[in-house]
Amino acid sequence: MADRLAGIRYLLPRWSGKLGTGLIMVGLIIAFGLVAPLFAADPRDSSNKGLLPPSGSHLLGTTKLGYDVFSQLATGTRGSLYVGLLGGISAMLLAILFGILAGYFGGWLDEILMLITNIMLVIPGLPLVMVIAAYVQNTEGLGEFARSSTLVALILGVTGWAGSAVVLRAQARSLRTREYVAAARVAGEHGLRIIFVEILPNLVPLIAAQLIFGVMAAVLGEAGLSYLGLGPTNSITLGTMLNDAQTGQAVGSRAWWWFVPPGAVIALLGTGLALVNFAIDEIVNPKLRLAPQAARRQRRATKAGRGVAGGGAFA
Amino acid sequence: MRFYLRRVAFYIVTFWAAISLNFLLPRMMPGDPAAIMIGKLRRASGGRQLSDETIKGIYALLGADKSTSLWDQYLAYWVRLLHGDLGISSTRYPYPVATLIGNALPWTLFMVGLATVISFALGIGIGAWVGWRRGTWVDQLVPATSLLQSIPYFWLALVLVAIFSVQLHWLPIVGAYDPFTYPSGPQASWAFAADTIVHAFLPAVTIVVSSVGGWLLGMRNMMVSTMSEDYVLTAEAKGLTPRRIRDRYAARNAAIPSLAGFSIALAFVVAGSIVTEQVFSYPGIGKLMIQSVQGLDYALMQGVFLVITLTVLAANFLMDLFYGLIDPRVRTNG
């Protein structure tokens, strides 16, 4: 049992200032998206005056149509988080499917899966997403779903998995040759069991890092799509807010309180997620943590007069 | 040689896949993009009769009636493309798609190309320095790059416009040149060149600022890893100057993966430049793409997507050749 716990602890990121800051930032934004819409005013209430600057009654002012920006921001954060999570998870599942199967089985399966992955990787993402979205959203028979945030998230997921698949494949390939995997194979375990029991658990930090990337990419992708007018129409996201601000000439009319907050939330969320990812990176690649530490230690030693003469390059 | 053959084969397959995707997408949809497109063209032409040639072209690009087999459609599609016929635009009727793309492409290549090169050089340079100084206060700068990376391109562009164009009136808000000074369009003069640079400045800065973080971080991490290699220790033991170790031993090797990651970064830049062009109404490929998507101009949309994909493939291919040249290992390991 104690061994087991030690194993799990090994997979968890080390506590550091970066990780703490990142978790707090992400946590606050998630809490804002979950809780604030419950007590904020109706984001589609247009009875207010238009383009009011921030004040006591409207914390972040109002839009041209009189919507309360704070309420819109709260609902929009929730909408963006939903798209990010759904898009990130679907991209991650596809990346696991392609990356681990290709890396573990090798041979012709690897060739084919990697060919598909590499094609997806070099075809530029946003134009592809725009083309797919333009066709799908104008398809008859989808009804409400055609312009929903769920569909936008799925499109982003289906087009955004290739980079993670490459990373996972490389790691799965190297794990495949480890002794314990060979032992499992000799013991007669079949392929899928080896993948799920022996390989997948060791990929957890990497998958977590890729998931975080995926969520971020989906949030940014949704913002870009919505800004271009291809986002969901029946729900509010940070991207649709920016699109409204664009069509409402927010920049020209100097209504900074309208277009600055949604972008700032996206940037802060992205920064928070990236900080968490730094901590995970340091598990995956211990050199990133150990090398600066060693350099720091060496410099301290030199300063204390215990250094090696001519340690110049490492100072 | 095997390396180059494999790369050439890969790009041919990708090229084929991109075109086939372009062919299949409108045909997989339950609706009828060809009918929508022809309706749009009729309206754009002011109710005049469209020539049979135009209508035939649209069917070839977007899908004919169900009586023609998919295979025959596919062949006809290829024949059209190989003749350089991308159809007629409905949003910019009666211009052919190929002409519109030809006019827009130079602007994008100029602005985005310049921004990418600047961003790459800056990122590699600063990244190498930050990696070299690992374990010092400089490490604190590293997380800051993630802030740059998570800023949406277009939002940064909006903020820059709000500050430098609307508030301070230092730089122009829209376009690639001043249409009032140059009403007859681009001309070959120094004043015009200066005007284009002034107009490209903010969009380029947007792209540089949002993409430099990725290069920087990648280079820094590789530099840190490379610095703990044995040959760096050997170089140090030989008594080489730190500068020589940094530039000749560490940075050169650390930069290689950054070059390999060029394709991923390029896709990022292309995506970013599309939305950036929208913010600045920059008359490039991205703006054209957005126009086509918003106006459901399927012919233009297909054409632009194709050209963007081909350009990115070409850039990647050149990069691969270059990569094989500087790193012999990839040539032998395939």
Residue-wise pLDDT for B105-132, tens only, equals: 888 888 888 888 888 889 889 988 888 8
> pLDDT at position A82, please?
93
User: CA of B144, closest CA in chain A: separation in Å?
Assistant: 8
Cα angle vertex B306, ends B213, B150, to 5°?
20
Cβ–Cβ below 8 Å for B270 and A126 = yes
> pLDDT at position A7, please?
62
Q: Which residues does chain A have within 8 Å of residue B161's beta carbon, measured at their own beta carbons?
A: 251
Spatial contact of A95 and A209, defined as CB atoms under 8 Å apart: no
> pLDDT at position A218, please?
92
Cβ–Cβ below 8 Å for A124 and B225 = no
Q: Look at residue B334 and tell me whether its pLDDT is greater than 50.
A: no
Of all residues in chain B, the one with the smallest CA distance to A308 is B237
> pLDDT at position A119, please?
85
Q: Look at residue B44 and tell me whether its pLDDT is greater than 90.
A: no
Determine the average pLDDT of the residues in A99-105: 89
Spatial contact of A282 and A273, defined as CB atoms under 8 Å apart: no
Determine the average pLDDT of the residues in A38-65: 73
> pLDDT at position B212, please?
86
> pLDDT at position A28, please?
92
pLDDT bin (cut points 50, 70, 90) of residue A8 is low
User: CA of B57, closest CA in chain A: separation in Å?
Assistant: 19
d(CA A230, CA A131): 10
User: CA of B31, closest CA in chain A: separation in Å?
Assistant: 5
> pLDDT at position A153, please?
92
Q: Look at residue A291 and tell me whether its pLDDT is greater than 60.
A: yes
> pLDDT at position A211, please?
92
User: CA of B259, closest CA in chain A: separation in Å?
Assistant: 14
Question: Cα–Cα distances in Å, from B21 out to A14, A122, A212, B14, B41?
Answer: 45, 14, 29, 10, 24
d(CA B314, CA B330): 19
Q: Which residues contact B327 (CB under 8 A, 6 or more apart)?
A: B256
Residue with tokens 């919507």: A67
> pLDDT at position A215, please?
93
Spatial contact of B89 and B277, defined as CB atoms under 8 Å apart: no
Q: Look at residue A307 and tell me whether its pLDDT is greater than 70.
A: no
pLDDT digits (tens, 9 = 90+) for A149-192: 888 899 999 988 988 998 899 888 888 888 888 898 899 888 88
Determine the average pLDDT of the residues in A14-18: 72
> pLDDT at position A6, please?
63
Of all residues in chain A, the one with the smallest CA distance to B238 is A310
pTM: 0.82
pLDDT bin (cut points 50, 70, 90) of residue A13 is low
Q: Which of residues 275-294 of A touch B (CB under 8 A)?
A: 275, 277-278, 281, 285, 287-288, 291-294
pLDDT bin (cut points 50, 70, 90) of residue A9 is low
Determine the average pLDDT of the residues in A210-229: 89
- Higher-pLDDT residue of A86 and B178 is A86
DSSP H helical ranges for chain A: 2-11, 17-39, 69-105, 107-122, 125-137, 149-159, 162-176, 179-186, 191-193, 204-227, 238-247, 256-284, 287-303
Q: Look at residue A81 and tell me whether its pLDDT is greater than 90.
A: yes
Phi, psi (degrees; rounded to nearest 5) at B45: -85, 0
Contact A216/B at CB under 8 A: yes
Cβ–Cβ below 8 Å for A269 and B294 = no
Q: What is the mean pLDDT of chain B?
A: 81
Tell me the longest C-alpha to C-alpha distance in chain B.
Answer: 82
> pLDDT at position A96, please?
92
DSSP A73: H
User: CA of B76, closest CA in chain A: separation in Å?
Assistant: 21
Cβ–Cβ below 8 Å for A263 and B242 = no
Residue ranges and CATH numbers for the domains of chain A are: 15-284 (1.10.3720.10)
d(CA A140, CA B161): 39
> pLDDT at position A10, please?
62
Q: Which two tokens stand for residue A26?
A: 């992400």
pLDDT bin (cut points 50, 70, 90) of residue A67 is confident
Phi, psi (degrees; rounded to nearest 5) at A240: -65, -30
The most confident of A22-26, A69-73, A202-206, by mean pLDDT: A22-26
Cβ–Cβ below 8 Å for A291 and B228 = yes
d(CA A298, CA A242): 50
Instruction: Determine the angle formed by the axes of helices A256-284 and A69-105, rounding to 10 degrees.
Output: 30
> pLDDT at position B242, please?
86
> pLDDT at position A280, please?
82
- Higher-pLDDT residue of A15 and A249 is A249
- Higher-pLDDT residue of A291 and A178 is A178
> pLDDT at position A312, please?
46
Give SS3 for B94. Answer: coil
Displacement of CA A92 from its chain's centroid (Å) = 10
Residue B265's identity, in one-letter code, is A
Determine the average pLDDT of the residues in B13-29: 84
- Higher-pLDDT residue of B27 and A81 is A81
Q: Look at residue B280 and tell me whether its pLDDT is greater than 90.
A: no
Q: Which of residues 33-92 of A touch B (CB under 8 A)?
A: none
Determine the average pLDDT of the residues in B307-325: 83
Q: Which two tokens stand for residue B310?
A: 């081909």
DSSP B175: S
Q: Which residues contact B185 (CB under 8 A, 6 or more apart)?
A: none
Q: Which of residues 220-249 of A touch B (CB under 8 A)?
A: 220, 223-224, 227-230, 242, 245-246
Please state the ipTM of this predicted complex. 0.80
Q: Which two tokens stand for residue B246?
A: 């940094």
Q: Which residues does chain A have within 8 Å of residue B150's beta carbon, measured at their own beta carbons?
A: 216, 220, 266-271, 273-274
Rounded percentage of chain B residues whose pLDDT exceeds 90? 0
Cβ–Cβ below 8 Å for B308 and A135 = no
Residue with tokens 């530029």: A124
d(CA B271, CA B286): 9
Contact A24/B at CB under 8 A: no
- Conformational region of residue B135, where left means phi above 0, alpha means psi within -120 to 50, and beta covers everything else: left
